């Protein structure tokens, strides 16, 4: 199939021969310009076009057998996509009518090259990092909340224990105060009795003296 036949094959699908010719020319021009600029044109499911640099080397002329030096050059290269390979190898059946069942190319794949591929890879890595960070942050937040709840519970428990100890200390102090007051009252009650006993003692002594005096007089 040449270019004219390709145009005829897609003419009915794009609305006419002229539209088909313009579409083919536009696609080919975009691919050539991108590859010449060093970009890689990738069409998912179909294949990719890229520029390959070949270093200087020695080759042999097939007609004369003479060994000649070939200068460094750049050549275009096409690599078929997996969907294209599967259809050619027969592992997937080619539909009889309609369009070939290949994956649709993502936006920008027709003009995207190495720079676009690098940007996409960087964007994917950034998204993966953000997702990983979000996943790590979620357990951390849960752990912090649990720690806060545990701390609050510990504070409440400590406060209750301190209150209980304070109440017990107050009760003990009140009991000690009552005992002290009772002891003071008992001491105050026993003090007059001691005084009365002390007053009676001299009377006994005087009686003893009188008896001794009487005995001496009788003698």
pLDDT of 179: 73
Distance (Å, rounded) from C-alpha 175 to C-alpha 191?
Answer: 25
pLDDT for residue 118: 42
In a domain, 189, yes or no: yes
Contact between 31 and 41 under an 8 Å Cβ cutoff? The reply is yes
Q: Are residues 149 and 76 in the same domain?
A: no
What's the whole-number average pLDDT of the chain? 73
Number of domains in the chain: 2
Task: Examine the domain organization and report whether 26 and 83 are in the same domain.
Answer: yes
Average of per-residue pLDDT across 159-188: 67
Per-residue confidence band for 207, with pLDDT thresholds at 50, 70 and 90: low
Percent of the chain with pLDDT over 70: 49
Task: Please check whether residue 28 is in contact with residue 10, taking contact to mean a CB–CB distance below 8 angstroms.
Answer: no
Query: Which domain range does residue 48 map to?
Result: 3-105
Confidence band of 193 (pLDDT split at 50, 70, 90): very low
Q: How far apart are CA 181 and CA 78, in angstroms?
A: 110
Is 9 inside any structural domain? yes
Structure confidence by residue, pLDDT tens digits, 89-139: 988 888 776 666 555 544 444 444 444 444 454 455 556 556 655 565 555
Q: Among 105, 129, 154, where does a domain finish?
A: 105
Mean pLDDT, rounded, for 43-57: 94
Phi, psi of 113 (to 5 degrees): -125, -145
71, 101: one domain: yes
Which CATH number characterizes residue 84's domain? Answer: 4.10.520.10
The answer to whether residue 147 is domain-embedded is yes
**Is 211 inside any structural domain?**
no
Q: Which residues of 97-119 are buried (b: 16+ CB within 10 A; e: fewer)?
A: eeeeebeebeeebeebbeebeee
More confident residue, 152 or 143: 152
């Amino acid at each position: 199939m040449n270019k004219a036949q390709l145009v005829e094959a897609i003419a009915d699908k794009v609305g006419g021969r002229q539209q088909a010719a313009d579409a083919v020319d536009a696609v080919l021009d975009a691919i050539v310009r991108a590859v010449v600029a060093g970009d890689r044109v990738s069409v998912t499911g179909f294949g990719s076009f890229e520029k390959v640099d070949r270093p200087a080397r020695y080759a042999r002329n097939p007609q004369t057998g003479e060994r000649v030096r070939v200068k460094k050059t750049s050549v275009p290269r096409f690599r078929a996509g997996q969907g294209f390979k599967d259809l050619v190898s027969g592992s997937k059946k080619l539909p009889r009518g309609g369009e070939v069942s290949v994956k649709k190319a993502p936006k920008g794949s027709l003009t995207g090259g190495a720079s676009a591929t690098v940007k996409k890879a960087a964007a994917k890595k950034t998204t993966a990092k953000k997702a990983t960070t979000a996943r790590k942050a979620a357990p951390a937040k849960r752990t912090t909340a649990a720690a806060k709840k545990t701390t609050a519970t510990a504070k409440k428990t400590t406060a209750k224990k301190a209150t209980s100890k304070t109440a017990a200390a107050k009760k003990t102090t009140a009991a000690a105060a009552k005992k002290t007051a009772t002891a003071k009252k008992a001491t105050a009650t026993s003090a007059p009795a001691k005084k009365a006993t002390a007053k009676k003692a001299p009377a006994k002594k005087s009686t003893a003296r009188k008896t001794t005096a009487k005995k001496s007089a009788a003698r």
